[in-house]
Structure formats: structure tokens, C-alpha cells
Amino acid sequence: MTRAGFVALIGEPNAGKSTLLNRMVGAKVSIVTHKVQTTRARIRGVAMEGEAQIVFVDTPGLFAPKRRLDRAMVAAAWGGAADADIVVLLVEAHRGVTDGVQKILEGLEGIGKGRPVALAINKIDRVKSEVLLGLTRDLNERFPFVETFMISAEKGHGVQALREWLAGKLPEGPWLYPEDQIADLPMRMIAAEMTREKLTLRLHQELPYQLTVETENWEERKDGSAKIDQIIYVIRDGHKGIVLGNKGETIKQVGQAAREEIEEFLGRKVHLFLQVKVRSGWLDEAERYSEMGLDFKDGNV
């Protein structure tokens, strides 16, 4: 009997949701960087486990929102959890019950009704076992989790047990996606996210969130390769210079790293062309939000 359903991974920024998703799916679908708030859209990865198809909703990290973009991201995270068949809360072992985790637990009181909520304590290699046991007890006293898993998303410990458990808990029914489909995000968006990741890693000190990347054009060529044109939007002139770098060195290196990763993902040759444009108000443009899979209205105060 086939099973299929949605699993929402929630937690604070940097709790390891994207790393866990990539580990479960077996491919790099969600962007992993050490900057918080890098996952903007509800990226879904599809994992097969036996006869079950697990569709992961990788929600943006839950944090205290200050700007429109932040509010739209938090709304997307809770929306993803409310739509899911199963919710998994990821907590970092070495950080324990932070104020942020406590707020998420309070939010779960409403979302958790009518669907199983599991706890996954991540980065277990960073603490001693007695600390883990204490944290497990503490969290389970605060919320009635149906199951607790000890994992290291980065190293893969405990991930298979979580995957098997999820597969067994999903509702019976036909698969939601073709078996060979990894993510339901259009390839244009995945390619843009890959470039944005390279920029974030490279420029995380100077430009944390004031840039976005869009795939403007995607052309399939007769030789099997793809020509991809992307625009990097920044909010002021000074940022343009930072992205370009001395004699265009920064953008050249970012473009090369992004191209290699997109090629690896697609399994074929890619010609990637990057342009930088200043668009001072992109953080307040509805169109940019829909490109990222977010709802502009959710950012309203």
C-alpha cells in the first residue's frame, strides 16, 4: 500500500533544517549556509522510503520578525506547519530551550492539534549524554511529542530511523509526485538559490540579506546544455561594487562556483551569465516575494 504526505520541519534559524532535508532527500535542494534566515521559500524535497513518499516542507526559521520580509517568512513557516500531515521540531542539543524554542512550543499548542508532532534533537555530537537526557525530559514535559529522535543531520546519525518513522506515519494514498522528482520548486528558482548561496557565503559580512537573485532567462540548447541568465538585485549603488568586486573578481568567482553546482545538480553543462542591478525597493515589491514563494501580504504589519 502506498503512502504519501507532507512533513514540515520547523525550528529556529540555523537549527539544521536544511541540512536534515538535504540528508533525507539525498540531494542538495535547500540552501545551507551559516547565515541565519537563508531559506526563504517553502522548498519541498521529496524522499522515497519503501512504498512511502515523504514530501518535506522546509520552512524558513522561526524568529522575531522586524521587517516585511521577516514577517512574510515567519508566516510561511507557520503556514507550512499548519498544512502538513506531520510536524518535526528541530532543536539544537547544545543550545537547548532558548527563548525562541519556547515561543515555537507555544505556537505548537495550536498547530499541533490533529497531527503528530515529533521532536528531533540535532547536533547530538556536541553534548554529553546526560545533557541530552535532561533536555529530552524537559522538552517532553513542555509539549506532548509523539516521538523523540536524537540525530546529527550533518553526520547522518539517527536520520534513517526518523525517515522510517515518518514513512510509517503518513496517510495511505497515491504518491503526490513522479518518483524521480526531487523538489517541486521550478529549476529556475533552485538555480537562483544556488547562486544566492554562493553570494551569501562570499559576502556574508557586507551584505547579509540585502540581495536577491532571479533567473531571468533559461534557454535549452541543441547540444544538451542550458544557458541561464540571472540578475542579482541589490538595494544601493555601493552594494553593486561589493558584489562585482575589484576588477569584477568577486562576481566571476561566485559565477564559477554557482555554475559548477548547478551543473552537478542538473548533470549537464551550463552557461551562466550574471548581471547586477540596483533596485532600492526590492524588499517592498510584491513580485520579488512571489519569486521566492512567499506571500507579500503576510509581511503586512
pLDDT of residue 194: 87
Is there a domain that residue 180 lies in? Answer: no
130 lies in the same domain as 209:
no
Say which CATH number the domain at 261 has. Answer: 3.30.300.20
Strand-pairing partners, residue 119, are 89, 148
Is there a domain that residue 177 lies in? Answer: no
Number of domains within the chain = 2
pLDDT of residue 228: 93
Q: Measure CA of the first residue to CA of the last residue in the chain; give whole Å.
A: 46
Rounded to 5°, angle at Cα 275 from 71 and 264: 85
Rounded to 5°, angle at Cα 286 from 59 and 252: 75
CB-CB contact of 275 with 232 (8 Å): yes
> Which residues, given as ranges, of the chain have pLDDT below 70?
27-44, 58-67, 69-70, 72-82, 112, 179-186, 205-209, 282-283, 285, 287-301
**Per-residue pLDDT tens digits for 109-127:** 877 677 899 999 999 999 9
Say which CATH number the domain at 112 has. Answer: 3.40.50.300
Confidence (pTM) = 0.64
Q: Which domain holds residue 28?
A: 3-169
